[in-house]
Amino acid sequence: MSFDLERILESKRARRRSLANRPVAEKLAMLDALRERACTIRQAAAGREATVLRESPPEYRGTSRKD
């Protein structure tokens, strides 16, 4: 293990390639698991929209500061 950025990035690329090359059924099962995890996190999160399924992030509204 090292902090060589090039090696870290290459290992990330290799990991992505390896995942992409897995059988489709296995990748779809991973989507099932990812969604379950995302739902659990959302339900646990505090906030008014914690249980709402939202594909896109909420609209960004900048606030103007009045000093």
Partner 1 sequence: MKIKEVIAAINRMQADGVIGSYAIGGAVGATFYLEPVATLDVDIFVGFKPQPGQVLVSPSPIFDYLTARGGVVEGEYIVLAGWPVQFLPPNSPLVEEALAGAVTVDVEGTPARVFTAEHLAAIALETGRAKDKARLLQFVEAGALEVKRFQAILARHSLVDRWREFERTFLQKDT
- Minimum gap (Å) between residue 2 Cβ and partner 1: 24
The string of DSSP letters for 19-64 reads HHTS-HHHHHHHHHHHHHHHHHHHHHS-STTTT---SSPPPP----
Phi, psi torsion values for 36, nearest 5 degrees: -60, -40
- Minimum gap (Å) between residue 17 Cβ and partner 1: 7
Find the binder of partner 1 among 36, 40, 45, 50 (CB under 8 A). 36
Which residues are near partner 1 by CB under 8 A? 13, 16-17, 19-20, 24-25, 27-32, 34-39, 53-56
